[in-house]
Structure 1
């Protein structure tokens, strides 16, 4: 096993990026709120602070830099001058020209420097945090892989092996139902040898079905992992229809190999739509 697997780190990075859209929306909302608060409070603050009111724009500049890093800090610093000019023109009796030459321009340069510095520091902090998160998850995958290897070699009780394997796997991949199916090429059938979760219609431990036309045939013939969402559940298979009716919305089936030949598969099901992606695929393929 390559403990510094770059593929694993890339998979973890992909998972982190998949969450970035919601995070970006939250950051944008906070940033906009800081500017709205500044604009609404400008007239009141000007009556108290006078000409130094424009310095308060440092707060939204800092907020933008912290939320969006160097690029955000630069943009906030550059736009602080025209924004303050607009505020002065609208809310004060002072002319924009007088304001700029009485401290407005030096103040805006300071805002640009502050936004740049804080944004740069934030980028470094975020990059380090992401690297630490990726490394920690990669190390956890390796630890679970090692533990699974130890479990397999420590007992001949297959039920105990599968139970402990399922427990370790749950640390890394969230699932609601798990089964291990074994192929019988002589009888051309596939049998569920292990099952964890609520029994659902036909799918239970000991359930046997013909390989032909099943997902197991697809996995055996191509030797590749299959990821399904609810639209891909084959309603012609009664047990897949049972799963769909029971509320399962996604699945992943990973081939198990022996001597270069597929002899079975590990299947995970989830009631969450699109629960399985490249990260889960890579983890399961390392463990299968």
Structure 2
């Protein structure tokens, strides 16, 4: 039954005037009668009100008291504007003027106050109240939407927080990439500072190295405001400094003051920064093996510029620098140790047979003239056997041309500029990596032989290979990681473009991984990722680049995939998933949301553009599956 309010029957506190109905029926119904209207008005949860032309409230139903805490008698006879939030009065008055003109404005939301002072939000509707053909006021409904508005605001804040988190992760990822791309941070420090500035406000960012044994602090890197005595290369005492506090507590320190004397009484070493305009700072310890090796400082000229949130972001940035600083120190120490070792070798060459290094001598044609015990043990030859050989006998054919160039350089210059790395072949057929330094031996002022000093670096080379593999391979699934995918994917893209080949990029997302982790535990979540990796390897070719892109995302890049083959591949992938779920007795069904993008030589897309298209396709697939599930259908 459709009804319309046309004329007020409410006069006060629920009393009804008998002339004229409150509702105008569009059709006859057995529910006519004053009792029906009274019950509706008395029991409805929305507030029903009536107003005169000047906005005076003439009637309110009981829902008003439940919603606002006011009694109806406190407001009947008063202007309704008194309970409207001051900022919303212009909007409300504009709507009421439309009503007085005989118009019915659309519902609008306005704020009003309860008796307790709590702010409420109502959805107001108002229609003209007509008598004798003239508008004499308004009749309307107020629906409480306070809780809905609060929920909407919470959701909006959650979306904003998620967006900020994603942005922070992207910046931190880029900063980490730059930090770990070099052994010389000076080359990229200014670029790193600019990236970090978009995440964390500062006017100066610096890194101080801590020498606890020497009781000193060395300023290593700095970007931003100039602070005397605190520029790269400057040194100050550790004792009594804020850096000492950070070193002892191994935790971050936040200092925000506008009182120079207060700062001077605490940390004298920070006074030059204060005089340079610094008013706020955050200090983050850089740890290596549970020891503070340095401090990362963010400083701002703004008072109270930092909060706990900025402190956490600073700690995230600091964690990226920790490994890099430790790596650089280790690298520097290793270089220094190797230089000292080479000096030692040059000083004690006379101890020919007493060293563990391989020392050998061959003539200018490459015939061995002598070799120490280290050489014999490494290559597993006897002295007689080695003296019957030439250098080319223990060097692989693929390296011989490089060795010949090195020998020519040595004969021309008397020694080689830098150590060379070669593979020596053992008597038993195995190979060892060696680092060789060689120099010319003279007799009566004329070169007659070349002396080589080689050290076994097989273990180091193996470690380097493992490190290279680790940097490109995901530890959990043993697929390529994000870096490995981009490294190989860019190569494949260039090949495909040059050879005019088509490529297919598949983007897959493991469904419900968070549910698995939360309800079954992270070991089960890890197993889901491992199972997904195995299914992808089973589905695609060895020549395809398969990678765990991060979290629950996987990506596959295949070359020479003709148009339409993606349907075959995705069907095969779904079949393998179904087979896996059939065999594995699990508390969940492993499933993937899949997106596909195609590369052809004509469209000339970048790898990043392919990823964006495949990602969009994947989310569309996920949405279709969700809609299908909501409609009671299933879709693979």
When the two structures are superposed, what TM-score results if normalisation uses the length of structure 2? 0.31
Please point out which of 72, 75, 82 is paired with 2:120: 72
Q: Structure 1 residue 125 and structure 2 residue 152: aligned?
A: yes
Query: Per the alignment, do residues 64 and 183 of structure 1 end up closer, same or farther by CA in structure 2, a change over 3 Å counting?
Result: same
Asked whether the equivalents of residues 281 and 300 of structure 2 are also in contact (C-alpha less than 8 Å), the reply is yes
Q: Find the counterpart in structure 1 of residue 304 from structure 2.
A: 274
Q: Are the aligned partners of 1:202 and 1:239 in contact in 2 as well (CA < 8 Å)?
A: no
Q: Does 1:198 align with 2:225?
A: yes
Structure 2: how far apart are the matches of 1:146 and 1:253? 21
1:257 pairs, out of 287, 294, 302, with 287
Task: Please tell me whether residue 284 in structure 1 is matched to residue 314 in structure 2.
Answer: yes
Question: What is the RMSD computed on CA atoms of the aligned residues?
Answer: 3.6
Offset of residue 176 of structure 1: 0.4
Aligned to 2:199: 172
Shift of 1:136: 1.3
2:169 is the counterpart of 1:142: yes
The 3 A distance-change label for structure 1 pair 201 and 31 is farther
User: What's the secondary structure of 1:72's corresponding residue?
Assistant: strand
Instruction: Report which stretch shifted further, 142-151 or 204-213.
Output: 142-151
Question: Which structure is higher in helix share?
Answer: 1
SS of the residue aligned with 1:235? helix
Distance 1:103 1:274, change over 3 A: same
Structure-1 residue corresponding to 2:100:
49
TM-superposed deviation, 1:145: 2.2
CA distance in 1, matches of 2:312, 2:204: 19
Residue 87 of structure 2: which of 24, 29, 33 is its match?
33
Per-residue CA deviations over 1:214-264 (Å, capped at 9, x if unaligned) read: 011000000111111115762155542222223221111111111111111
Whether the 8 Å contact between 1:200 and 1:242 is mirrored in structure 2 is: yes
* Structure-2 separation of matches of 1:193 and 1:219: 17
- Listed as ranges, the matches of 1:84-95 within 5 Å are none
Q: Which has the higher strand share?
A: 2
Aligned to 1:63: 110
CA distance in 2, matches of 1:265, 1:225: 9
Corresponding residue for residue 17 of structure 1: none
- Contact kept, 8 Å, 1:230 with 1:248, in 2: the verdict is no
Match of 1:159 among 174, 183, 186: 186
Q: Deviations over 1:169-218 (max 9, x none)?
A: 11100100111000012211001101111212322222211101001100
Tell me the TM-score normalized by structure 1: 0.64
User: How many Å separate the matches in 1 of 2:167 and 2:94?
Assistant: 49
2:264 is matched with which residue: 217, 235, 245?
Answer: 235
Q: Structure 2: how far apart are the matches of 1:158 and 1:36?
A: 59
CA distance in 2, matches of 1:251, 1:163: 19
Closer, same or farther: CA 178–35 of 1 in aligned 2, 3 Å: same
Q: CA deviation at 1:130?
A: 1.2
Q: Secondary structure of 1:194's partner?
A: strand
Partner of 2:393: none
Q: Which structure would you say has the larger RCO, counting Cα contacts within 8 Å and 6 or more residues apart?
A: 1
Residues 182 and 132 from structure 1, CA distance in 2 versus in 1: closer, same or farther, beyond 3 angstroms? Answer: same
Instruction: After superposition, give the CA deviation of every residue in 1:103-154 in whole Å (9 maximum; x if it has no partner).
Output: 86x52xx1x21xx24x455334322221111111111222222222222221
Larger Rg: 2
Q: Structure 1's 123 and 191: CA in aligned 2 closer, same or farther, altered over 3 A? A: same
